[in-house]
Structure 1
Amino acid sequence: MATDNQTSGFHLVGKLLDPAARADPYPIYAEFRTLGPVWIKEMSTLVVANYRDCETLLRDPRLSAERDRFFQVDQAADPYPPDAPSSIRRPWFLSLDPPDHTRLRRLVSSAFTARTVARMEDSIAQLIEEYLDRAADRETFDVLSGLAYPLPVTVICRMLGVPQADERFFHRWSAQLTRQLDGFSNRYDGSGDTPQWVHGEVELHRYVNELVADRRRSPRRDDLISELLAAQDGGDVLSHDELVSTIVLLLVAGHETTVNLIANGVLALLRHPGQLAALRADPGKASAVVEEILRYDPPVQLTARVAGEDLRAGRATVPAGGLVILLLAAAHRDPEANPDPDRFDPAREQVRHLGFGFGSHFCLGAPLARLQGRLALAAFVRRVREPELIADPPPYREHLNLRGVSELLIAHAG
């Protein structure tokens, strides 16, 4: 007979948080789906794991993206030094609700256009070739450190117009700030010990402040910062702090997610040699492979909202102020949304996923992530012959939400 703890889902949270589950959390997600939307009283949290409810709730205006309302961040425990740039305390627009989110997204999207992304294709392809050239003569190759990790941060740095000599700093800062996006990071607790990510965030904001000031003095025509400076909507423009905060967001949010997209894609192909061979025979299948990866093993495993008022989801009731966790990776494997969901099949007729979110918060960087994933996977299967995983499963980082490998070592024939 099931106990209250088992039917509440609280025991599944413990299983999911266990680092031993990182390599394969999907059986735990399946258990969550059997419960339906479930209110976990020990956490004052609703957990949703089926596709239909996740999709519905992502576009429900009663749910707020301003999660600090739930966490009730103590302003007295502010970890930043007094001389930190004011931009560091401005929330990212992905954590805002309308009308603030609507305004900022409209301004940013006017600069971060499909044309801006498309003009990067040749340079992205060239970067990938350079990374794979370095691996060609090695008996072993770490796909993560040699391709998946450096590519996205280098791409966004070059889009922004960061001097190439400074790109190495962005690699370090992005790694430090990733924990903020994880959703289960160790937030500052006022203990007096400053987390490492605070130092990285302060350094990054100082650098971007200087970069923006330089662009104001000497605007260019070929970089994203200049286009963001020029962006306007009905006379409205981004303030200095809004611009700096947005640039930091583009770097951090766009980096780790794309790293995981590429690494998860390579891992899935290595585990399914038939699909690898099919992509090698027809590089035009790369887009379909990317979409299936976004469903099958997504870079972002979950997202969270706060209930702005009392609401119901399935048989569960969520009080105003309650946290709502949407297990996107679980929803993707809901058989009602995707038949035979545990099978990796880029040729499936329809791929339903929420890998870039849904509704008003749909990821602005989706076209860039898809482009990098498509080019990287097609080049990998073309250039790397007879690749074999050295460790399966490979080691994983501790991140729960931005779940990804810490190393993806392969042996290959060049």
Structure 2
Amino acid sequence: MTESPPTEPVFDPFAPGFTDDPYPHYAEMREHAPVHRHPLGFWLLTRYEDVSWLLRAGLSVEERNVAEGNPLREMREATYGDQMPRFDGRSMLDRDPPDHTRLRRLVSKAFTPRALRALRPQVVDLVDGMLDAMARARHVDLIESLAFPLPFAVIAKMLGTPSSDHERIRELTGVVVRSLEPVADPDLVSAIVSADHELGGIAAEMIAWKRENPADDLLTALINAEDEGDVLDEDELIAQTLLLYIAGHETTVSLIGGGTLALLRDPGQTALLRDDPGLVANAVEEMLRYDSPVQASRRITVEPVTVGGVEIPAGAFVTASLASANRDERFWGPDAGELRLNRENARQHVSFGAGPHHCLGASLARMEAGIVFERMTARFPRLAQDGEVRWNGRINLRGPSYLPVSTG
């Protein structure tokens, strides 16, 4: 009697415990279904070689190229109906060239090495002030005390927006990012649409205020580019502002929170960093590899492509699992699942993507995290976890939502 061949696993991000620790599931997909056609109408790539190729292949990101009748497209349209968020598809994140090229060029001026060098002393001051407050309190939630407020304050400063809006923007962006996850709850859909509308109104008011109060900041630069005859329309200007707020802080929150948790769980690696502060830049790269703040990135085929010996048709959603690629033993070796702050090729992770859509704010995130880990490990050599971590429950923008620590 012959045994039946094993059934190919199905990617199930709703499985119990997945968002707390998705890595065992990714390992199973890499081994048994590295190019996986999901019943919901998308393809999932989990091996480093395939993910790296997809990110650099120049495929589309515009959903208009998805084939009619695609189950995922139909589900999204059915979920939102005529309530589709106004700015969906208007940011550079969701645009192909030449629009992507134009928008990226406008925004990139704020992320030059010179601009970041000028910003660094202000980031140091912010970090030191937050560490001072942590030292006084002794028992804190690291996310609320440091990981969240730091990158939010930095991107708000870069944009030059009024501080009176910051708290409400923080609340609203926390709702809007849920649109990047699978959504079925009608109440959540309504909340996302409402938050998107309110955020758009706040951004429009900011832009109007900034026209009357120009300064040497990113928002003024975007406005001037529009006013000087570029083809940025008002919705595009608002969409880039909202993207910068969301992308400018959400991923760095998870980098700082997840990186700290990884250190707390591995005292040997923490000691390595404390004894050799010069290791901090590479340590940040390894933290990015070990637990990617953005777990996946998607592309859309405009013609058939072959990946890993499997043909994917035109008009298909293809999801690259960045988190899985960053743990692929075929590329990283047998210790791929371990934190190694001195890993020589750590910078080859794909956490910031690659190709035309490589994360524009990668250098900013690296700078912020580097300052945090250099100063926090020196300031709090006995930093310890002080309770159970809670995860944010997201599939894509995954990270701790609560990390209690004691400063020693």
TM surpasses 0.5: yes
Structure 1 range deviating more: 224-233 or 317-326: 224-233
Structure 1 range deviating more: 91-100 or 226-235: 226-235
Residue matched to 2:274:
280
CA distance in 2, matches of 1:68, 1:232: 26
What is the Cα deviation at residue 69 of structure 1?
Answer: 4.5
Amino acid at match of 1:51: Y
Q: 1:3 to 1:44 in 2, by over 3 A?
A: farther
Q: 1:225 to 1:19 in 2, by over 3 A?
A: farther
Answer yes or no: is the 8 Å Cα contact 2:273–2:341 preserved in 1.
Answer: no
What is the Cα deviation at residue 350 of structure 1?
Answer: 1.3
CA distance in 1, matches of 2:214, 2:231: 16
Answer yes or no: is the 8 Å Cα contact 2:111–2:364 preserved in 1.
Answer: no
Residues 380-395 of structure 1: pairs in structure 2 closer than 5 A: 380-391=376-387, 394-395=389-390
Residues 308-323 of structure 1: pairs in structure 2 closer than 5 A: 308-323=302-317
User: Which of 381, 384, 397 in structure 1 is aligned with 2:392?
Assistant: 397
CA distance in 2, matches of 1:327, 1:304: 9
What is the Cα deviation at residue 253 of structure 1?
Answer: 1.6
Residue matched to 2:236:
242
Residues 106-121 of structure 1: pairs in structure 2 closer than 5 A: 106-121=105-120
Amino acid at match of 1:35: H
Answer yes or no: is the 8 Å Cα contact 2:35–2:46 preserved in 1.
Answer: no
Residue matched to 1:377:
373
Residue matched to 1:347:
342
Residues 9-408 of structure 1: pairs in structure 2 closer than 5 A: 9-10=9-10, 13-14=11-12, 16-40=13-37, 42-61=39-58, 63-67=59-63, 69-70=65-66, 71-72=73-74, 74=77, 77-79=81-83, 88=87, 91-181=90-180, 184-186=181-183, 195-220=190-215, 222-231=216-225, 236=230, 238-339=232-333, 340-351=335-346, 352-391=348-387, 394-408=389-403
CA distance in 2, matches of 1:193, 1:260: 22
Deviations 1:234-292 (A, max 9, x none): 96353332221101001112221110000011011111112222222332222111100
Amino acid at match of 2:353: G
CA distance in 2, matches of 1:41, 1:287: 38
Answer yes or no: is the 8 Å Cα contact 2:56–2:354 preserved in 1.
Answer: yes
RMSD: 2.5
CA distance in 1, matches of 2:36, 2:275: 48
Normalised by the length of structure 1, the TM-score is: 0.88
Amino acid at match of 1:363: C
Q: Secondary structure at the match of 1:373?
A: helix
Amino acid at match of 2:337: D
CA distance in 2, matches of 1:317, 1:240: 40
Amino acid at match of 1:404: G
Amino acid at match of 1:55: S
Normalised by the length of structure 2, the TM-score is: 0.90
Q: Secondary structure at the match of 1:325?
A: strand
Answer yes or no: is the 8 Å Cα contact 1:265–1:293 preserved in 2.
Answer: yes
Q: 1:259 to 1:160 in 2, by over 3 A?
A: same
CA distance in 1, matches of 2:188, 2:390: 29
Deviations 1:193-252 (A, max 9, x none): 7522222221211111111122223321x2111122234899635333222110100111
Identity of paired residues, percent?
Answer: 37
Q: Secondary structure at the match of 1:298?
A: coil
Aligned length: 396
Amino acid at match of 1:326: A
Structure 1 range deviating more: 20-29 or 261-270: 20-29
Deviations 1:147-196 (A, max 9, x none): 10111111111111112232212211221112123xx33168xx687522
Structure 2, gaps ≥5 residues long: 67-72
Answer yes or no: is the 8 Å Cα contact 2:290–2:339 preserved in 1.
Answer: yes
What is the Cα deviation at residue 36 of structure 1?
Answer: 4.8
Q: Secondary structure at the match of 2:44?
A: strand
Q: 1:327 to 1:89 in 2, by over 3 A?
A: closer
Amino acid at match of 1:368: L
Amino acid at match of 2:107: V
